[in-house]
Amino acid sequence: MHAVDQSELLITKLKQGDQSGFTAVVELYQDMVFNTAISIVQNADDADDITQEVFVQVYLSINSFKGESKLSTWLYRITISKALDHEKKKKRKKRFGFVQSLFGSGNEEQHHPVEFNHPGVQLEKKEKAGELLNALTQLPEKQRIAFTLHKLEGQSHQEIAAIMNTSLYAVESLMGRAKVNLKKVLHNYYQQKFSDQ
């Protein structure tokens, strides 16, 4: 059975409330969803939570899925949206924790460097991957998503345009700017790293 046929069958099962269809979708896409989430939030527990939220939303809103894009494209959109929302909430909490600490509540936030543990990255490359992911957090949101989808998730520019609901030209432009900005950030990182030693 072709991937498209399989996807259509799963969507039909989901819309009929068939539990086996939902289980199959989870098994088929959970790694993709988790890897995308962890690439953005850079924390395994948070990525787990987001993965669960994504599939709950799929279950609840499958009837609104009109099939104008691939199922995987729709899943990427949901995952990215939930991961970015999660990040924004976390930043608000950090700001609130900092404000509390100014007033002597004793709840000062502990800022630890990100421990990056993407399942698709080999052990010896984890330090470099961590540096890259830290650098990615400093990019504008759209550049960051395009770069993450292309370099970490292996998506084509065409597929990224579909996921981000934009043009191929816009994706190519985002990728070009992301690479320039990453070079600047990583250059500054290495300069600081070696000047501190």
Give the whole-number percent of the chain exceeding pLDDT 90.
Answer: 37
Residue 192 clears pLDDT 70, i.e. is over it: no
81 vs 42, residue with greater confidence: 81
Token pair recorded at residue 179 = 């690479």
Token pair recorded at residue 183 = 């070079």
Token pair recorded at residue 173 = 């432009």
pLDDT score recorded for residue 172? 96
CATH fold of 1-107, please? Answer: Rna Polymerase Sigma Factor; Chain: A (1.10.1740)
pLDDT in tens, 32-61: 999 999 888 888 899 999 999 999 999 888
Comma-separated ranges of CATH 1.10.10.10 domains in the chain: 114-197
pLDDT score recorded for residue 129? 64
Q: How far is CA 63 from CA 53, 67, 162, in A?
A: 17, 10, 20
**Residue from 177, 176, 160, 180 nearest 168 by CA:** 160
State the Cα–Cα distance between residues 86 and 88, nearest whole angstrom. Answer: 5
84 vs 1, residue with greater confidence: 84
pLDDT in tens, 144-164: 999 989 988 889 999 999 999
The amino acid occupying position 89 is K
pLDDT score recorded for residue 55? 94
Confidence of residue 115 (pLDDT cuts 50, 70, 90): very low
CATH fold of 114-197, please? Answer: Arc Repressor Mutant, subunit A (1.10.10)
Residues 191-195, mean pLDDT to the nearest whole number: 62
Contact 147, 39 (CB under 8 A): no
Residue 195: helix, strand or coil by DSSP? helix
pTM over the 0.75 mark: no
pLDDT score recorded for residue 118? 54
Confidence of residue 105 (pLDDT cuts 50, 70, 90): very low
What number of other Cβ atoms are within 10 A of residue 114's Cβ? 13
Residues 18-41, mean pLDDT to the nearest whole number: 89
**Residue from 71, 81, 77, 82 nearest 25 by CA:** 71
106 vs 8, residue with greater confidence: 8
The residue written with tokens 């498209």 in the block is: 4
Comma-separated ranges of CATH 1.10.1740.10 domains in the chain: 1-107
Residue 64 clears pLDDT 50, i.e. is over it: yes
Helix (H) or strand (E) holding 22: helix 19-41
Spatial CB neighbours of 178, under 8 Å, sequence gap ≥ 6: 139, 143, 144, 146, 147
State the Cα–Cα distance between residues 135 and 133, nearest whole angstrom. Answer: 5
Length in residues, the chain? 197
pLDDT score recorded for residue 156? 93
